[in-house]
Structure 1
Amino acid sequence: MIERFGYIDELVPGIRWDAKYATWDNFTGRPVDGYLVNRIIGTRELCLALTQAREEAAVLGFGLLLWDGYRPQRAVDAFLRWSREPEPQDGHEDGQGKRRHYPAISRPEMFERGYVATKSGHSRGSTLDLTLFDLASGDLVDMGGDHDLMDEISHHGAAGITPAQTRNREQLCTVMEASGFGRYDSEWWHYSLVEEPYPDTYFDFPVD
């Protein structure tokens, strides 16, 4: 691993994580190239800002659960190859992934609409996918849609979710922006460090 990167679970105590792309529970339906262990990596600058975000969230009674951080370029390339594969036939179990993650668009449209990129900010090491959980119960907060639901309902300010779900998204946004992160308008879970240390470098070392 590059010196200025670290494992977030070591550098930010109290963070929960579930590295979706190291598992079968993601939009491709299989572990993704470059994710060899269920851990999440980020730049040390990201970890410092995330420590502040964890503290800001705790004041509100929340913890942070991470789904993704640094993403090797080889994983992004795997997404592109997957997008060129034929869609599963109706009734096939893989069709559940489409219903859950991209119900109203095709695989190529994920890229056209900006939900997945051929060059991802994640590969620069200072972008996160995350949500809130209730510190008292441990339950995930209801955000009106799951991680990687590639649909307009996932946009900030989306119609079709409840006032409570809107407030929950706003609370996450407030926590992250107060800690030096900027939001991505099309995905309520996606935040990037504003002052990222490697704004023009896309890394490809594995998560191992």
Structure 2
Amino acid sequence: MTRLSGAVRAVVAALVTLMTMSTAATTARADADPVAPADFVALRTVDPTILQEMRYFTPHNFVGERVDGYRRPICILTRPAAEALHRAQRTLLSRGYTLKVYDCYRPQRAVDHFVRWAEDLGDRTTKAEFYPNVDKTRLFADGYIAEKSGHSRGSTVDLTIVKLPAVPTRPYVPGEPLVPCYAPREERFPDNSIDMGTGFDCFDTLAHTLDPRVQGAQRANRLLLKGTLEGHGFVNLAEEWWHYTFRPEPHPDTYFDFPVSARSLARGH
């Protein structure tokens, strides 16, 4: 019994040592992560009324899995961009609408994940929804994927408008049938956004903000988003109705790589 107890104690001691080493390694990796500059903030601290549906924290995106660098489903932006969104939100609230963000600051490691996915031509899991009419070999040439993103500079945001009172959007169930992002609203994946003619991250020319084929209420909705944000200092990317950048950017030439997490904003930890 004495020998057995000694052996057990040795095993327990070894396990404790391994756990300690693992915890230390994890802590070291976390401490090694860069943190955000002082002028980056969580959007909720500036305007808690803006809805957040952070798609790259979930598997419902064109990659089909949570994207590298998204450790929490929070929107991080430079303070000037966040404050400008707050002003735009006040304009929309007065008309019975609210903003909803899909993506804000995006670390470079997430962009690198996009690039790896685009280079894997055998992975077409999400094609039926996000790029049904585009061959994956064309994603770089057609400008849908790039090695750098303005989002990594911290003042670019992907967003839409939701009519109040907001109806919750049901969660995506991995493996469920996918519907083209340009299908009629009642057929594509449900989103509580007003109808913009396509879903978010639709790799198709129909997603171009002023595509002439998009008319009626869909065009009016895009123009409502465009007019509101441009009135508060944002500039639209013509190829994506959801993509806006606040100008002037505080960091026009810097691509950051700190993770999307509360810890990244806890300076001096």
TM-score by length of 1: 0.92
Q: Separation in 2 of the partners of 1:84 and 1:63?
A: 37
Task: For 1:122, give the aligned amino acid.
Answer: H
SS at structure 1 position matched to 2:41: strand
Rg comparison, structure with higher value = 2
The aligned counterpart of 1:136 is 165
Name which of 28, 32, 43 aligns with 2:78: 43
Q: Separation in 2 of the partners of 1:8 and 1:87?
A: 37
Name which of 138, 148, 151 aligns with 1:109: 138
Moved more, 154-163 or 46-55: 154-163
SS at structure 2 position matched to 1:158: coil
- Stretches of structure 1 lacking an aligned partner (at least 5 in a row): none
Q: Separation in 1 of the partners of 2:96 and 2:236?
A: 21
Query: How many residues in Structure 1 have an aligned counterpart in Structure 2?
Result: 202
Task: For 1:78, give the aligned amino acid.
Answer: H
The Cα shift of 1:98 comes to: 0.7
Q: Separation in 2 of the partners of 1:194 and 1:67?
A: 20
Name which of 50, 53, 56 aligns with 2:88: 53
The aligned counterpart of 1:196 is 249
Task: For 1:207, give the aligned amino acid.
Answer: V
Task: For 1:11, give the aligned amino acid.
Answer: V
The Cα shift of 1:22 comes to: 0.9
SS at structure 1 position matched to 2:106: coil
- Stretches of structure 2 lacking an aligned partner (at least 5 in a row): 1-35, 168-191, 262-269
SS at structure 2 position matched to 1:74: helix
The Cα shift of 1:137 comes to: 4.6
The Cα shift of 1:108 comes to: 4.0
Q: Deviations over 1:66-117 (max 9, x none)?
A: 000000001101110111112347xxxx2xx112111111234222222232
Task: For 2:100, give the aligned amino acid.
Answer: L
Name which of 93, 97, 117 aligns with 1:82: 117
Q: Separation in 2 of the partners of 1:83 and 1:108?
A: 8
**Contact 1:5/1:41 (CA < 8 Å) preserved in 2?**
yes
Q: Separation in 2 of the partners of 1:16 and 1:23?
A: 16
Matched, 1:10 2:39: no
Name which of 127, 144, 159 aligns with 1:98: 127
Name which of 205, 209, 217 aligns with 1:156: 209
* Structure with the larger strand share: 1
The Cα shift of 1:174 comes to: 0.5
The Cα shift of 1:12 comes to: 1.4
Q: Separation in 1 of the partners of 2:38 and 2:215?
A: 44
Aligned pairs for 1:179-190 (under 5 A) are 179-190=232-243
**Contact 1:115/1:186 (CA < 8 Å) preserved in 2?**
no
**Contact 2:118/2:145 (CA < 8 Å) preserved in 1?**
no
Percent of paired sites with the same residue: 41
Task: For 1:161, give the aligned amino acid.
Answer: V
Task: Please give the root-mean-square deviation of Cα atoms over the aligned residues, in Å.
Answer: 1.4
